A and B are shown apart, each in its own frame.
Chain A
Amino acid sequence: MESGLVQQGANPPRVVIVGAGPAGVRCAETLLSAGIAPVVIDENRRDGGQIYRRQPEGFQRPYATLYGSEAGKAEALHRTFDSLRGRLDYRPDTLAWHLHERTLYTAQGNRQRTLDFDALVLCTGAGDRLLPVPGWNLAGTYTLGGAQIALKAQAVSIGRRVIFMGSGPLLYLVAAQYQQAGATVAAVLDTAPLRLRALATPKLLARPGVAWKGVQLMAALKRAGVPLHFGVTPLEILGDAEQGVAGVAFADARGLRQEVAGDAVGLGYHLRPETQLGDLARCAFEFEQATGQWVLQLDGDGRTSTPGVYAAGDGARVRGADGAELAGQLAACAVLTDLGRTAPGGLAERCREALAVQERFRLGLAEAFPWPARQMASLPDTAVVCRCEGITAGELRAVVREKGAREANRAKAFSRVGMGRCQGRYCAQAGAEIIAAESGVPVETVGRLRGQAPIRPLPLGIVTSEEEVSS
């Protein structure tokens, strides 16, 4: 056992948290307050997750510069984790790559360690949700999240003249952050028509402050002279293999083709929960119509269908950082209850109440910035769907049409869509939409790709650590 842990009885419950973002940190804090010292695994070098990603050691940018209006929350989370670190077993730079029964397999570089657990809390966050567009495989196309990380962690812009395209709150946030950081934002192209935002207003007003911030972001972009287009249909990312991105062609709300020049594109359609570990833990999934994607089946407190496995934060439902902090605490309460411990008085009730508001807002966002799946029906056959394997929409449609592959895993087996390094993270949802459109069925009947270890590419040179061999 590592030094500095909370003193515990002979057989203290073994709780493992995967992810040290807002959900994981608050979950750890709550567990510690009840006398349980968890192990916290995190893929990143530093805590904070994606949204409150900490800059590398030695970087000196102040909180206000890095996190803007969220600076106070970011600093509070970092301070909390700093105060907990000596009392828990924190393993940064560590990938949880598989689990089998109640053992988690982790890799830190080439070093393999197993962790037995009584309770596992998945605070794995979310990744960018993408739809292909012709040319998205050109150098200079980034996800919105990737564009944000470049700026937040390394103070680097993805290009000199950046076009942001897609939909969702992150589109405006990242565009505004780039604009404030001094990059030229050539345009913001939103596939959602503006009127949907008006229709979703009652739900969005569940969090009036956040809704107002969104309005302010748009206003700031407008004031800075950034062209904003709503209700667009992406046509093509222009450029060539030699020079990379040269611009974007899109159809505006009236259906007229327009082009905007730029040397980089930030592309994304809100977020997709990272659910691979839950899948390996054999947790049940459900198709969520509101967002058009498969999510973990959860009870109100974060219990999955697999006993001893919990999920919180954006990996469970994409509610953003505030919701993740609440969900992390609530999942900790569920863990404590299930382990026969006492959760902090009234905490679960308070979190549930506050999360109900967050949930209403989340559904409002889904209505305001809908997943434009219909685009996939008209995606040209020549467009690449699976970038890892270089498979086009035409090749995927052919296995549906000619080989009868109407189920996601079957289409993957025949076409290789989803077989690459990203494990389907960036192509599976688009692939399912293409299969559904081609066979004329609702996308949920296409199913979802089965999770397969490793969670991320794993070094073949991985070795089991010595203490494990000797034990």
Chain B
Amino acid sequence: MSQHAANRADVIIVGAGIMGSASAFFLRRRGLSVLLLERDQVGRFASGTNFGNVRRQGRYLSQVALATRSRGIWGRLPELIGDDLEFIPGGHLRVVYDPARIAMLHEYARAPETAALELQVLEGAALHEKFPYLGPEVVAGSYAPHDGHANPRLAAPAFARAAVREGVDLQEGVEITQVTKPGGDFLVQAADGRRYQAPRLLITAGAWGSRLSSQFGEPVPIETHGPQMGVTEPLPYVFRETVGVSSPLVSETIYFRQIPRGNVIFGGCFRTRPDLDTRLARAEPHGMLNQLAQLRRLAPALGRINVIRTWSGVEGYIVDDLPIMGPSSQVDGLYYAFGFCGAGFQLGPGVGDTMAELIATGRTETPLAAFDIGRFAQPRSESLAG
């Protein structure tokens, strides 16, 4: 009987990455009871393995409002969750090699949506004077003074611990395989037979999200990739800002940041192919070799140090490169926040806050229309035929 009671809550959240953990925290803050279910350990797959970019610039304009809401929370983390997640608002520099892309940087900086970012576009000598480590091929850069970076390994677990302190029931090692709404409540069933019930359900299952949304007739075109990440040995702390290359050529989109300990963390240029079932993800050597060449091109001095570790993770990429976030288009009480296309880390706290607001009050001022799962809804007849 008590077992049954323990497995009920106002909201069940499936997936304890940064989206689920932050949502749980903010839902509890709004007074709702929450069951947070995680198949593995908190924040293991996408949330714990990403680059750690706390970056607003370069995002689709439709995401900037959400990112700005999130940025506000990043600045208040110690008072909210008792941990700063090693967030350093040291700025973000987005550079280009192709002179034809300089106009794009200016256009982005002029967009009304990015006004709060206070972007500064620098070209040629002015850029190289301010950032003397940049390679000669870099022609321009957009500097975002309020962006920064943080430690992804710590983020989701810290939100989950704070959520647990607030009274969230976190259960790790629970693999949810079946989600239904047979009556008024959702019935959530684990592979090992455990069952959970709640009137509201939030799916924050990352790359596995569509496996659950499909059970409500809302499949999403999602692909699984992993980030290709690496870190160097420590060297003197000189790079305050995060630096990334903007290019239509994926193979040259390198980015790096340095932590006060001295290590330079890098990623980009390549996506690995993790396995959703074995959950194995590993950085691939051929991808890494190109990364190192691109790092030397971006910041030639880095060519003299050593790489000491590489890793990857499991990320969900939606076909249109935008996440799934908001209410279900089919089922009352059902919500989604998954498939953040390798760009969810900065958004995490804001997603949690926004989803909590939406679930608790039924509405939010933060625009989510672009992320509506309904954009992939099939005409009724087709979905029946399929």
Contact = CB atoms under 8 A, between A and B. Distances in A.
A189 to B, nearest CB: 33
Nearest to A402: B161
Contacts of B305: 459-460
A65 interface: no
Nearest to B83: A403
B302 interface: yes
B296 to A, nearest CB: 7
B153 A457 contact: no
A278 to B, nearest CB: 14
A452 B233 contact: no
A413 B48 contact: yes
Interface in B230-250: 232-233
A319 interface: no
Interface in B300-348: 302-311
Nearest to A418: B309
B312 to A, nearest CB: 10
B295 interface: yes
Contacts of A413: 48, 153-154
Given A407-B41, A413-B153, A460-B305, A454 B292 contact: no
A242 B82 CA distance: 38
A464 interface: yes
B308 A462 contact: no
B233 to A, nearest CB: 6
**Interface centre among A97, A280, A413, by most B CB within 10 Å?**
A413
B296 A460 contact: yes
Interface residues of B, number: 31
A346 interface: no
Contacts of A112: 289
A167 interface: no
Contacts of B308: 420-421, 423, 454, 457-458
A410 B49 CA distance: 12
Interface in A454-471: 454, 457-464
B233 A462 contact: no
A461 B296 contact: yes
Nearest to B152: A413
A414 interface: yes
Given A460-B296, A460-B304, A454 B310 contact: yes
Given A100-B285, A100-B286, A421-B233, A460 B154 contact: no
A448 interface: no
B115 to A, nearest CB: 37
B157 interface: yes
Contacts of A463: 293
Contacts of A452: 283, 309-311
Contact of A423 (B48, B288, B302, B309): B309
Interface in A352-397: 389
B158 to A, nearest CB: 8
A159 B233 CA distance: 29
Contacts of B286: 100
Interface in B53-97: none
Contacts of A105: 285
A403 B309 contact: no
**Interface centre among B289, B302, B308, by most A CB within 10 Å?**
B308
B284 interface: yes
Contacts of B304: 460-461
A392 to B, nearest CB: 15
A398 B371 CA distance: 40
A251 interface: no
A97 B284 CA distance: 12
A260 interface: no
A51 interface: no
Nearest to B300: A461
A414 B157 contact: yes
A404 B154 CA distance: 12
A453 interface: yes
A188 B292 CA distance: 47
Nearest to B305: A460
A414 B303 contact: no
Contacts of A416: 261
B303 A461 contact: yes
A98 interface: yes
Contact of A454 (B41, B161, B307): B307
A419 interface: yes
Interface string B276-289: 00001011111011
23 contacts: A97-B285, A98-B288, A99-B285, A100-B286, A103-B285, A112-B289, A280-B282, A389-B261, A403-B157, A420-B308, A421-B233, A421-B308, A452-B309, A452-B311, A453-B282, A454-B307, A458-B308, A459-B305, A460-B232, A460-B305, A461-B303, A461-B304, A464-B289
Which 5 A-B residue pairings sit nearest by Cβ, starting from the closest? A457-B306, A98-B285, A413-B153, A461-B303, A105-B285
Interface of B: 41, 48, 153-154, 157, 161, 232-233, 261, 280, 282-286, 288-289, 292-293, 295-296, 302-311
Given A98-B285, A420-B308, 19 more contacts: A98-B288, A99-B285, A114-B285, A280-B282, A413-B48, A413-B153, A414-B153, A414-B154, A416-B261, A419-B309, A421-B306, A452-B283, A452-B309, A452-B310, A453-B285, A453-B309, A454-B307, A458-B306, A458-B307
